[in-house]
């Protein structure tokens, strides 16, 4: 699957910082991580810290799939509002999911600091707003649910939002949000993993996987093999090819980066924004004084139809930005599309689809893919050791 179109802003900004060899001979290892995006990098980092022997393989250049197109707007808010998630999954799972997504933002900040990544990680306040009178009641119910369970939130009215430069009716302001450069972070983290002993191959496609009682065997199109005790799939939306049951609905999403401003416009200095539309629109600033607008999602059909909408979506996202931030002169610069997916409950899939096989998945679908991947770092060793972990229960494949 072609996960992106056009050249995403992050790739243009960073170019290729790291390159790795392709697999040239059959090898054996303890753990094979499949997928060299941000999820694979985080899981590899955790495994290396645990002293495991790790090989990571990606069929592209590392970092150049979904991690190159994500807008990396970090929120603890899940695509399904808290009060609705409580109805779907129960209070314990819903509240802990929100709490752990919030914790993951600060855990990621610690990883950035301990690795020294120059990815411009910045904490921001998150504004969840509506311009639609019909969504005010829903937003108010969500506000009360978050207050009830101890989240630091504030209710903002029309005048308070106008002071922030946003034209909308009401909003929930959350204290915990962040932005960063996902491509730079992933490159930095993989580079550190390689220095600490991980073996990384790009341009290495895993064509076939054969479970065995002892070593699992992965085979490339060139008939080379990687034998490992454990396989960990960090393949995101491409996992639809390897997971037998349908767990995700694929969407095409679009993002637009503005030309650089002399200084970052005031609303984006301390805030990120997303609305109650379905699909929702979202807006964030960058370290080099651009603004990214995203949304306009469509059901995924094929990459040709997805990419044919780029010009139309450029105009559409520009209009949405101007609607909400009319005092900012937004000049479109980069437009790109990507493929992502949504689960019914907005939650990830982590663990083994088949308990008897040492094949694990870390699939952080939806708008919280990065925070879900950070959370999975805490569960992956338990998955490998057949130990209980709350994430393996709440986000298992049998739900």
CATH number of the CATH domain containing 50: 3.50.50.60
Q: Decide if pLDDT at 3 tops 60.
A: no
Same domain flag for 217 and 313: no
Within-domain flag for 330: yes
Q: Is the same domain home to 291 and 376?
A: no
Average pLDDT, the chain: 93
Whether the predicted pLDDT of 239 surpasses 90: no
E strands along the chain, which residues?
Answer: 4-5, 27-34, 54-57, 73-75, 122-130, 153-156, 170-179, 199-201, 208-210, 216-219, 225-233, 249-258, 271-275, 282-285, 291-299, 332-342, 349-351, 359-363
pLDDT the model gives residue 65: 83
Residue with tokens 């607008």: 293
Percentage of residues of the chain with pLDDT beyond 70: 96
Domain that holds residue 194: 4-69+183-247+346-394
CB 249 within 8 A of CB 341: yes
Residue in this structure with the two tokens 């090898």, named with its chain if needed: 27
Lowest mean pLDDT among 18-32, 40-54, 188-202, 299-313: 299-313
Query: Mean pLDDT throughout 284-289?
Result: 97
pLDDT of residue 212: 76
Higher pLDDT, 279 or 172: 172
Residues 217 and 205 in one domain: yes
Asked if residue 207 and residue 172 are part of one domain, the reply reads no
129-158: per-residue pLDDT in tens?
A: 999 999 999 999 999 999 999 999 999 999
The model's pTM? 0.93
At 11, the pLDDT band (50, 70, 90 cuts) reads low
For residue range 97-112, list pLDDT tens digits in order.
Answer: 999 999 999 999 999 9
What is the rounded average pLDDT of the residues 258-279? 97
Express each pLDDT in 345-387 by its tens digit. Answer: 999 999 999 999 999 999 998 889 999 999 999 999 999 999 9
Domain count, the chain: 2
Domain contains 80 = no
């Amino acid at each position: 699957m072609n996960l992106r179109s056009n050249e995403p802003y992050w790739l243009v900004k960073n170019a290729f910082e790291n390159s790795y060899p392709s697999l040239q001979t059959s090898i054996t290892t303890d753990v094979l991580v499949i997928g060299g995006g941000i999820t694979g990098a985080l899981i590899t980092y955790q495994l290396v810290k645990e002293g495991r022997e790790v090989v990571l393989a990606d069929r592209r250049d590392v970092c150049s799939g979904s991690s190159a197109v994500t807008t990396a707007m970090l929120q603890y808010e899940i695509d399904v509002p808290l009060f609705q998630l409580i109805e779907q999954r129960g209070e314990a799972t819903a509240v802990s999911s929100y709490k752990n997504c919030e914790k993951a933002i600060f855990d990621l900040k610690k990883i950035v600091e301990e690795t020294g990544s120059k990815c411009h990680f910045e904490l921001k306040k998150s504004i969840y707003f509506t311009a639609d009178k019909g969504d005010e009641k829903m937003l108010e119910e969500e506000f009360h649910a978050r207050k009830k369970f101890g989240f630091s939130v504030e209710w903002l009215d029309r005048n308070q939002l106008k002071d922030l430069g946003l034209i909308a009716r009401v909003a929930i302001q959350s204290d915990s949000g962040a932005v960063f450069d996902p491509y730079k972070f992933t490159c930095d983290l993989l580079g550190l993993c390689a220095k600490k002993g991980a073996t990384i191959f790009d341009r290495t496609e895993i064509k076939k996987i054969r479970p065995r009682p002892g070593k699992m065997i992965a085979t490339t199109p060139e008939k080379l093999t990687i034998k490992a005790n454990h396989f960990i799939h960090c393949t995101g939306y491409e996992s639809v090819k390897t997971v037998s049951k349908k767990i995700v609905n694929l969407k095409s999403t679009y993002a637009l980066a503005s030309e650089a401003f002399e200084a970052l416009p005031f609303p984006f200095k301390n805030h990120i924004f997303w609305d109650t539309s379905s699909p929702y629109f979202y807006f964030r600033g960058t370290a080099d004084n651009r603004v990214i607008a995203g949304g306009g999602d469509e059901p995924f059909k094929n990459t040709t139809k997805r990419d044919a909408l780029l010009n139309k979506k450029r105009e559409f996202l520009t209009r949405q930005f101007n609607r909400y931030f009319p005092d900012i002169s937004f000049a479109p610069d980069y437009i790109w599309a990507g493929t992502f997916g949504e689960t019914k409950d907005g939650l990830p899939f982590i663990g083994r689809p088949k308990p008897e096989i040492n094949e694990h998945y870390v699939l952080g679908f939806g708008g919280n893919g990065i925070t879900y991947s950070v959370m999975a770092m805490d569960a992956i060793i338990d998955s490998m050791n057949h130990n209980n972990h709350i994430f393996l229960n709440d986000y298992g494949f049998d739900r």
